[in-house]
Amino acid sequence: MGNKVLRKTYTESYKQRKRMASPKHERVIFEGAIPQIIDPETWHTAQRLRRTIRRPAKNGDPPYRLTGLMYCADCNSKMTHDRTEDRRTIKSQRKNHYLCSNYRQRRDGCSMHFIKVPAAEELILDAVKRVAYYVRTNEEEFVAKVREKSVARQESVIQESKKNLTKQKRRRDELDTLIKKLYETFATGKIPEKLFDKMIAEYYEEQTSLEASIAGLQNQIDTWGADIEKTDKFIELANQYTDFAELSDEMVNRFIEKIVVHEADRSTGARTQHLEIHFNFIGNFVPPVMEIPLMPKEVAKLKADTEEAERLEQERIARKKEIAYRKNLKYRQRLRDDPVLRAEQNAKRKELYAQMRMALYEKAVAEGEIPPRTKYKPDQNKTAI
C-alpha cells in the first residue's frame, strides 16, 4: 500500500538476539513513503480472505467462495458449508447448503438457519444487480441516502467511543501514578519483592491493553465520516460491472462484505427466508423496488437458453415420431405374418365402423333428417344414412 512501517519487532534486552513482534499501537507508520503496488481496498480484501480457513472437500472439490461470508443472524457465528453425501436419496448425491456452525456442533442452542447454495447465490446476484443499476441510474439519490444512513448510524457510535476514550485515558493516567507510587514503596522496603513483581506485572498488562484500546478508539474517531467518502469508491466499483449474467468469484470478493442469514419462516404455509446482504463501503443498503432491464449478456444468455430449449424439444418430438414409426412398422410386419392377428384387427375395424354408422343414424333421427325405423340394421341402411 506504499506505507513504511518501523518498530515492527523488539528485543527485551541487548543481550538477547531473539526479536518479538511489537504491539500495533507502538509501530510507526509513514503513509505514502514508498511506491504503492496495490490499493488499500484490495489489500484489506486479501487480508480478510486469508483470515478465513477454507478447507477443500474430501472428494477434491475446491473450497466454496461464500465460505467466511455467511453469518447466523441469531448467534452471529459463521455458517458451515455442508458437502457430505446425502444417503437418503436413491443415488447418493452431495449436499450443497449452509447451516449454523453452533447448531452443527450442538452449542448455544441455536437453530439450523438452513439455506441452499443455489438459492443464496440467486438472492446475492439479484441484490448486486439492483444496487449496481440503482447506482448507475440514480447516483445523486444514492449518495444522499448513504450519507443520511451513515450519519444516523455513526452519531451514537462516536459519542459512545468518545465517552469510553475519556474514561480509558483517565485510567491510564491513574496507572502511571500507581506505578510510580509502587516503585517508591518498593524502594523504601515497605512491600516484599514477590508482591511488587506481581502487582507491577498486572499494572503493565492493564496498561498495554488500555493503550491498544485507546489507539483503536482514537482511530475510529479520527475516521469519522470516512465511510461517507467510500460511496465514491462503491460508485466506481458499480460502474465497472455494467454487463454480467452470472456471479463470479471476483464480484463476490469485491462487492460482498458479509451475509446475515435469518431463520426460515413457515407461518404462511410457504417457506420464506430473509438475508441481509452487507456490501463493501456502504453496508446493508436496500435500493427501492424498481424494474431492471436485462443486460446484454443476460439477453444473449436468455436467447441461447431459449434456442437450446427449442432444439431439445424438436429432438424430443423427432425421437417420439421415430419411436412411433418403428412401432407401427413392427406392428404392420406382424399383421402380414400372423393371419390370426390380422383377422382380429379386421373384426375390430368392422365393429368400429358399425358404431360410427349407428352414431350417425341417431344424430340424423334427432335432427329430423330421416324418420326413425322400427328395426335398424346398419349394414342394410348404408344408403339411407
Q: Tens-of-pLDDT digits for all 385 residues of the chain?
A: 899 999 899 888 877 888 888 888 788 989 889 999 988 878 888 888 888 777 777 777 777 888 888 899 888 888 888 887 776 665 567 788 889 988 888 877 788 889 998 889 999 998 898 888 888 888 888 888 877 766 655 666 677 777 888 888 888 888 888 888 888 888 888 888 888 888 888 888 888 888 888 877 776 666 555 555 677 788 888 888 888 888 888 888 888 888 999 998 888 888 888 899 998 888 888 888 877 777 777 788 888 888 999 999 999 999 999 998 888 888 888 888 888 888 888 888 899 998 998 888 888 888 888 887 755 555 554 554 4
Count of domains for the chain: 3
SS3 340: helix
Q: Number of H helices and number of E strands within the chain?
A: 9, 12
Is residue 186 domain-shared with residue 308, that is, in the same domain? no
Cα distance between residue 357 and residue 378, in whole Å: 6
pLDDT of residue 6: 93
In a domain, 202, yes or no: yes
pLDDT of residue 135: 87
In a domain, 382, yes or no: yes
Is residue 355 domain-shared with residue 247, that is, in the same domain? no
Pseudo-torsion of CA 213, 216, 222, 224, nearest 10°? Answer: -110
In a domain, 29, yes or no: no
Is residue 301 domain-shared with residue 370, that is, in the same domain? no
Q: Is the dihedral of CA 188, 191, 193, 197 positive or negative?
A: negative
Indicate the residue type of 322: E
In a domain, 126, yes or no: yes
In a domain, 357, yes or no: yes
∠75-70-252 over CA atoms, to 5°? 155
Is residue 208 domain-shared with residue 354, that is, in the same domain? no
Nearest-10 crossing angle of helices 117-137, 139-187: 110
Is residue 102 domain-shared with residue 148, that is, in the same domain? yes
pLDDT of residue 150: 64
Is residue 149 domain-shared with residue 239, that is, in the same domain? yes
pLDDT of residue 91: 59
Query: Going by DSSP bridges, is the β-strand pair 70-72/256-261 parallel, antiparallel, or unpaired?
Result: parallel
Conformation bin of residue 366: beta by default, left when phi > 0, alpha when psi is -120 to 50: alpha
Is residue 257 domain-shared with residue 122, that is, in the same domain? yes
pTM, to two decimals: 0.58
Is residue 96 domain-shared with residue 185, that is, in the same domain? yes
Is residue 357 domain-shared with residue 324, that is, in the same domain? no
Is residue 349 domain-shared with residue 272, that is, in the same domain? no
User: Of 256, 279, 302, which residue sits at a domain end?
Assistant: 279
In a domain, 360, yes or no: yes
Using alpha carbons, select from 13, 40, 21, 30 the residue that is nearest to residue 230: 40
Is residue 102 domain-shared with residue 222, that is, in the same domain? yes
State the residue range of the domain holding 350: 338-385
In a domain, 181, yes or no: yes
Is residue 167 domain-shared with residue 125, that is, in the same domain? yes
How many CB atoms within 10 Å of residue 237? 19
Using alpha carbons, select from 192, 196, 190 the residue that is nearest to residue 178: 196
Contact partners, residue 161, CB within 8 Å, separation at least 6: 217, 220, 221
In a domain, 249, yes or no: yes
